[in-house]
């Protein structure tokens, strides 16, 4: 038995990078109304990681995840997400990339009220042309996972806030995106319900081939982070390990 030569870079030692930002700038408006929302942001997020973005209101958290998810164009800098160089891609390409690679969870859930719960969950699949029957079946599976299998045919308004956010999580995962962005997913919920939503996210969304970026100012859920990036006035001030990383082995 001759030992195989060791590879130059062991993948286990350095997990693949999901997001790499360098010198990202973004401002809104012009003249007197000019607002520098992002001032030279550098950020790396690894695959398999849940990174939380925290900081005071107006510091640029939402702007940053919008840039990362490809729904807002940066003014300057380098934005490489899941191997795609977003700043050089055409708008159409970015739209398609987003539809396939990114899942969203919003503070306001953003479920379409006139559709059933399962139809809402199926939307990302329907958008890429998956046949309705298949899409609904897959949506049903996801709803089972988030504990709402029995409510597939309900209208969103008949569910509680926590349940609606679980539906939104099912929707964000149904097409198996490799990046999940969540903006204040627990802010509209009470502590206990928010806790449940985060447990659900950690249990079903965190995977070795997926990165999560979650914006929050809810310190009660910091314990679910692998790392926490603190933002202030358009800059990232510090990145600290979160309690989830300390408490558990890498998944």
Give the nearest distance from C-beta 59 to ligand ATP in angstroms. Answer: 4
Q: Dihedrals φ, ψ of 152, to 5°?
A: -55, -40
Please tell me whether residue 241 binds ligand ATP under the rule CB under 6 A: no
Please tell me whether residue 128 binds other proteins under the rule CB under 8 A: yes
Give burial (CB, 10 Å; 0-12/13-18/19+) of 30. exposed
Please tell me whether residue 63 binds Mg ion under the rule CB under 5 A: no
Give the nearest distance from C-beta 129 to other proteins in angstroms. Answer: 9
Q: Dihedrals φ, ψ of 68, to 5°?
A: -65, -35
CA distance 105 to 83: 22
Give the nearest distance from C-beta 149 to other proteins in angstroms. Answer: 21
CA distance 214 to 105: 9
Ranges assigned E (strand) in 74-222? 76-81, 84-85, 102-105, 179-183, 211-215
From candidates 59, 67, 211, 228, binder to ligand ATP by CB under 6 A: 59
Contact 185, 217 (CB under 8 A): no
Please tell me whether residue 62 binds Mg ion under the rule CB under 5 A: yes
From candidates 19, 62, 86, 169, binder to other proteins by CB under 8 A: 62
Please tell me whether residue 73 binds ligand ATP under the rule CB under 6 A: no
Stretch that binds ligand ATP, among 8-16, 58-66, 130-138, 200-208 (CB under 6 A): 58-66
Tokens encoding 153: 């045919």
Contact 228, 65 (CB under 8 A): no
Binding mask 3-42 for other proteins (x = CB under 8 A): ----------------------------------------
Give the nearest distance from C-beta 150 to ligand ATP in angstroms. Answer: 34
Angle, alpha carbons 203-206-207 (nearest 5°):
115
Q: Measured from the CB atom, is 163 or 165 closer to ligand ATP? A: 165
User: How many residues in the shown chain lie near Mg ion by CB under 5 A?
Assistant: 1
49: left (phi over 0), alpha (psi -120 to 50) or beta: beta
Please tell me whether residue 186 binds Mg ion under the rule CB under 5 A: no
Q: Measured from the CB atom, is 35 or 208 closer to ligand ATP? A: 35
Please tell me whether residue 66 binds Mg ion under the rule CB under 5 A: no
Stretch that binds ligand ATP, among 8-16, 53-61, 85-93, 97-105 (CB under 6 A): 53-61
CA distance 203 to 225: 13
Distance of alpha carbon 117 from its chain centroid, rounded? 21
Chain residues that interact with ligand ATP, rule: CB under 6 A:
28-29, 35, 37, 57-63, 217
């Amino acid at each position: 038995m001759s030992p195989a030569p060791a590879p130059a870079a062991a993948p286990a030692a350095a997990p693949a990078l999901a997001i790499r930002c360098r010198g990202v700038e973004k401002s809104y408006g012009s003249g007197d109304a000019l607002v520098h929302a992002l001032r030279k942001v550098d950020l790396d997020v690894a695959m398999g990681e849940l990174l939380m973005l925290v900081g005071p209101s107006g510091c640029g958290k939402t702007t940053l995840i919008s840039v990362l998810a490809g729904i807002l164009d940066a003014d300057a800098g380098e934005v490489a997400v899941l191997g795609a160089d977003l700043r050089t891609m055409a708008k159409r390409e970015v739209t398609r990339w987003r539809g396939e690679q990114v899942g969203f969870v919003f503070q306001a859930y953003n479920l379409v009220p006139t559709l059933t719960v399962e139809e809402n969950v199926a939307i990302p699949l329907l958008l890429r042309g998956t046949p309705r029957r298949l899409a609904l079946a897959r949506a049903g599976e996801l709803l089972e996972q988030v504990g709402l299998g029995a409510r597939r045919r309900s209208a969103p308004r008949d569910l509680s806030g926590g349940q609606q956010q679980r539906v939104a999580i099912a929707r964000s995962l149904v097409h198996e995106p490799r990046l999940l962005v969540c903006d204040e997913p627990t802010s509209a919920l009470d502590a206990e319900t928010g806790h449940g939503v985060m447990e659900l996210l950690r249990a079903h969304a965190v995977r070795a081939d997926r990165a999560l970026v979650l914006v929050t100012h809810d310190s009660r859920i910091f314990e679910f982070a692998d790392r926490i990036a603190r933002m202030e006035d358009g800059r990232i001030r510090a990145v600290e390990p979160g309690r989830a990383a300390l408490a558990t082995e890498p998944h």
